[in-house]
Amino acid sequence: MLIKHMSKGTKLIFLVLMIFTFTFIIAGCSGGNNESASEETADNGNANEDSTSEDNSGSVERISIATGGTGGTYYPYGGTLADIINKNVQGIEAAAEVTGASVENARLLESGQTQLALMMNDVVFKAINGEEPFKEKLGLRTLIEMYPNVQHVVTLKDSGIQTIEGLKGKKVSVGAPGSGTETMANGVLGAVGITYDDFEVFRLSFAENTQGLRDGVIDVGIWSVGAPTSSVMDLATTHDIEIINFSDSEVESVVSELPYYNKMELAAGSYEGQDEAVTTIAVWNTVGVHKDMPEETAYGIAKAIFENVDKLIQVYPGAKLTTPENLVNNAVAPLHPGVVRYLEEIDVEVPDRLIPPEMK
């Protein structure tokens, strides 16, 4: 090797240079790794900082819309509300949830488990006044009025039941537990002198009503829903149905005792085989929010809904009645301040009865 032919002095210099070079290389490699690690740490730190900043500046508030069962109109209407909100209200992500409907929805709203609740106005009235089934006054505010729910008292043509009085002694489904349908059934039947003691009580959902009538489990099913509704339409495709009329005196008894209800004519042809109009009872539906919802949130949602009602009409034609004018004419709970602000912008006068206490 070359080192053998070197003098001692040269060998010493050579070895020193070798050691120095080797040490430098190791130090350089080590320093490079440390620098790389430092850069990675810095990059990760910056990434975390950016991510946090992104979350803070572009955070999304997730809200729930409490609807009803899949066999009624609340669920598709609520699903469309969610779609409108998601596409038109920045910073909010909404989702429609299947629930037991009105009464349950009011309780979910009060507890903060949902942020928008679809409810029948008889339930809203009882909720804001602390009447049964509620034990105290709830902090509900009106966002919009949707459309009227029509009470369908449905049986099969071969049942022989042709009058409301004919429910006595029969097997009758009054609606799912905690639903607005049951609240309405109890109130309306009570106003015409029929109580739960007069028939065998079943508490079934809309879809279960349909199957129960088909199977002979029940004689009568009651729906309170926007017409036409899919579960009654489904029943009418396989069986001849009868939607029972209320007499004029029965209607008068109901609306005089319970002023949030009104007379409604269910048009002939609403369902297959229904050749004549049916006189029945109706009640408007509300989308409610809690009084503690931020004003800006309620304003943005109300504005988005009213400016995109065409999307609701595509899903349910009765949504053509979702208008600012019907809101101020039919609401029973005070409006949310954010809704008052929107109506003032579009020059719709808000009656004093609908101005919330927090604005007085």
pLDDT of the residue at 32: 39
- Residue 299, domain member (yes or no): yes
For residue 26, name the pLDDT band (cuts at 50, 70, 90).
very low
Out of 39-48, 98-107, 209-218, 286-295, least confident range: 39-48
C-alpha to C-alpha distance for 261 and 249, rounded to whole angstroms: 15
Contact, 330 vs 284, CB < 8 A? yes
- Is the CA virtual torsion 62, 123, 137, 301 positive or negative? positive
Domain interval for residue 170: 61-359
C-alpha to C-alpha distance for 286 and 78, rounded to whole angstroms: 12
pLDDT of the residue at 343: 98
Residues in the chain: 360
For residue 72, name the pLDDT band (cuts at 50, 70, 90).
confident
**Residue 334 confidence (pLDDT) above 70:** yes
Contact, 113 vs 306, CB < 8 A? no
117, HSE (Cβ side, Cα atoms, 13 Å): 35
- Residue 23, domain member (yes or no): no
Q: 10 Å Cβ neighbour count for 169?
A: 10
Out of 46-50, 81-85, 176-180, 232-236, least confident range: 46-50
**Residue 31 confidence (pLDDT) above 60:** no
Q: Which residues contact 41 (CB under 8 A, 6 or more apart)?
A: none
Average pLDDT on 141-167 reads 97
- Residue 258, domain member (yes or no): yes
Point out which residues pair with 262 in neighbouring strands: 282
Nearest CA to 175 out of 134, 212, 209 is that of 209
Percent of the chain surpassing pLDDT 70: 84
Residues 167-218: pLDDT tens digits?
999 999 999 998 889 999 999 999 999 999 999 999 999 999 999 999 999 9
Q: What domain count does the chain have?
A: 1
CA-based R_g, the chain, Å: 33
pLDDT of the residue at 69: 87
pLDDT of the residue at 201: 98
Average pLDDT on 56-62 reads 76
Q: Which residues contact 3 (CB under 8 A, 6 or more apart)?
A: 11, 14
For residue 107, name the pLDDT band (cuts at 50, 70, 90).
very high
Residue 266, H or E segment: strand 262-266
DSSP 8-state symbol, 204: -
Looking up tokens 């001849």 gives: 240
Q: Which residue did the predictor score with more confidence, 180 or 161?
A: 161
Nearest CA to 347 out of 322, 328, 334, 331 is that of 328
Q: What is the CATH number of the domain that holds 277?
A: 3.40.190.10
**Residue 8 confidence (pLDDT) above 90:** no
pTM for this entry:
0.72
When the pLDDT of each residue in the chain is averaged and rounded to a whole number, the result is 87
pLDDT of the residue at 12: 43
Contact, 240 vs 214, CB < 8 A? no
Q: Which residue did the predictor score with more confidence, 158 or 48?
A: 158
Average pLDDT on 11-33 reads 43
Average pLDDT on 249-277 reads 94
**Residue 54 confidence (pLDDT) above 50:** no
Alpha-helical segments (H) within the chain: 8-57, 74-88, 102-111, 121-129, 180-191, 206-215, 230-238, 248-257, 295-306, 309-315, 324-330, 337-345
- Residue 49, domain member (yes or no): no
- Residue 278, domain member (yes or no): yes
- Residue 145, domain member (yes or no): yes
Residues 284-301: pLDDT tens digits?
999 999 999 999 999 999
Backbone angles phi, psi at 264, to 5 degrees: -140, 140
For residue 30, name the pLDDT band (cuts at 50, 70, 90).
very low
pLDDT of the residue at 43: 34
Point out which residues pair with 148 in neighbouring strands: 284
**Residue 321 confidence (pLDDT) above 60:** yes
- Residue 22, domain member (yes or no): no
- Residue 239, domain member (yes or no): yes
Average pLDDT on 1-30 reads 44
**Residue 253 confidence (pLDDT) above 50:** yes
